[in-house]
């Protein structure tokens, strides 16, 4: 064999191998999916359900690998959206709270005592306001696909029942890293303390902080009552929807069929997880009460007192979120 023929043979072999690799890559594409909580919680189960549906429907040609506990952002959940936008993360099932620093419109759901119940949540996410929120996310380089649910956030503490704003006076409450949360608890006379959940648990145990706020699912699964949280108030002061989303550049590399598959499976996983989360609420509440936690449910008059006490927060934040978005959400709530 001449040197020329030998080189041509080697080149042909390499080309064939490269083409085979490309074909295999096209057939078996894996996307990373970030989520803050593991599958011990409904949030993590939502991501796992999405991955399960994608693998089933794609025949293994497209797979989602779920990375729980914010491990792709070294435990800093507030960096998740930025990491997805930049392409360090392909996709995520994320929280409106955690993504709000990069997408101010997501603070809509954190306006205190603005969205009172589940029918109001559905009216907002399923209507014009929900479309406006998705447009805001897409304008920042991320493709939103579907809604899920982390649930209404309730407040607990180690001191005593909370039934009126004065009961929060001076209480050190652990909050997530959002200025809106700081403003809300300041307006109620509390002492909001920003810290990660990893730091919060020992702080609650030692009494360095008096209380915290989280959905019932987190309170129940994380056994927050075991760190001194003996008093729980159901006040539905804000809701935290989940959002299934994909990096825009990754989305553009997918075929139309793959895009349709991801969107349809995200919608199905979101509906499944939302229904499951809501169905489990009464069961979780019963389990929490059986463990000796005192549960306070607000009357309409008590609820209104909290609305009035945080009106200044609403007035400050509505313009930052966008008056037109807040008005669209209010219209949806009023018309539900």
Residues 6+ apart with CB under 8 A from 151: 42, 215, 216, 217, 239, 240, 277, 278, 281
Percent of the chain at pLDDT > 90 equals: 87
- Rounded Cα distance between 96 and 124, Å, is 14
pLDDT for 188-217, tens place per residue?
999 999 988 878 989 999 999 999 999 999
The mean pLDDT of 76-82, rounded to a whole number, is 92
- The answer to whether residues 319 and 257 touch, using CB atoms and an 8 Å cutoff, is no
In CATH, what number does 30-334 get?
A: 3.40.190.170
Cβ–Cβ < 8 Å for 186, 270: no
Q: pTM for the whole thing? A: 0.89
pLDDT value of residue 16: 41
Residues belonging to the chain: 336
Residue 102 has pLDDT above 90, yes or no: yes
Domain ranges of the chain: 30-334
The predicted-structure confidence for 3-20, as pLDDT tens digits, reads as follows 444 444 444 444 443 343
Percent of the chain with pLDDT over 70: 92
Query: What is the rounded average pLDDT of the residues 115-124?
Result: 97
**For residue 55, what are its two tokens?**
């693998």
Q: What is the mean pLDDT of residues 18-43?
A: 75
């Amino acid at each position: 064999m001449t040197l020329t023929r030998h080189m041509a043979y080697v080149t042909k072999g390499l080309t064939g191998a490269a083409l085979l690799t490309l074909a295999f890559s096209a057939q078996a594409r894996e996307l990373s999916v970030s989520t803050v909580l593991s599958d011990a919680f409904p949030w993590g189960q939502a991501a796992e359900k999405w991955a399960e549906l994608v693998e089933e429907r794609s025949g293994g040609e497209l797979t989602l690998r779920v990375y729980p506990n914010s491990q792709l952002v070294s435990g800093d959940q507030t960096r998740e959206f930025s990491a997805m936008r930049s392409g360090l993360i392909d996709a995520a099932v994320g929280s409106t709270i955690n993504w709000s620093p990069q997408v101010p419109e997501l603070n809509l759901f954190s306006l205190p005592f603005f969205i009172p119940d589940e029918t109001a949540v559905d009216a907002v996410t399923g209507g014009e306001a929900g479309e406006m929120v998705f447009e805001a996310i897409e304008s920042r380089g991320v493709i939103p696909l579907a809604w899920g649910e982390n649930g209404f956030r309730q407040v607990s503490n180690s001191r005593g029942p909370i039934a009126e704003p004065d009961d929060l006076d001076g209480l050190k409450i652990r909050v997530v890293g959002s200025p809106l949360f700081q403003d809300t608890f300041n307006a109620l006379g509390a002492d909001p303390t920003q810290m990660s959940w990893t730091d919060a648990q020992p702080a609650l145990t030692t009494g360095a902080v008096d209380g915290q706020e989280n959905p019932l699912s987190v309170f129940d699964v994380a056994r927050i009552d075991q760190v001194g949280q003996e008093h729980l108030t159901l006040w539905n002061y804000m809701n935290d929807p989940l959002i299934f989303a994909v990096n825009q550049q990754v989305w553009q590399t997918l075929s139309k069929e793959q895009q349709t598959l991801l969107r349809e499976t995200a919608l199905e996983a979101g509906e499944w997880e939302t229904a499951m989360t809501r169905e489990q609420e009464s069961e979780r509440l019963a389990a929490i009460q059986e463990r000796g936690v005192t549960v306070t449910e607000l009357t309409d008059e008590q609820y209104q007192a909290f609305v009035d006490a945080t009106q200044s927060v609403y007035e400050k934040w509505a313009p930052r979120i966008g008056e037109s978005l807040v008005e669209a959400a209010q219209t949806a709530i009023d018309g539900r």
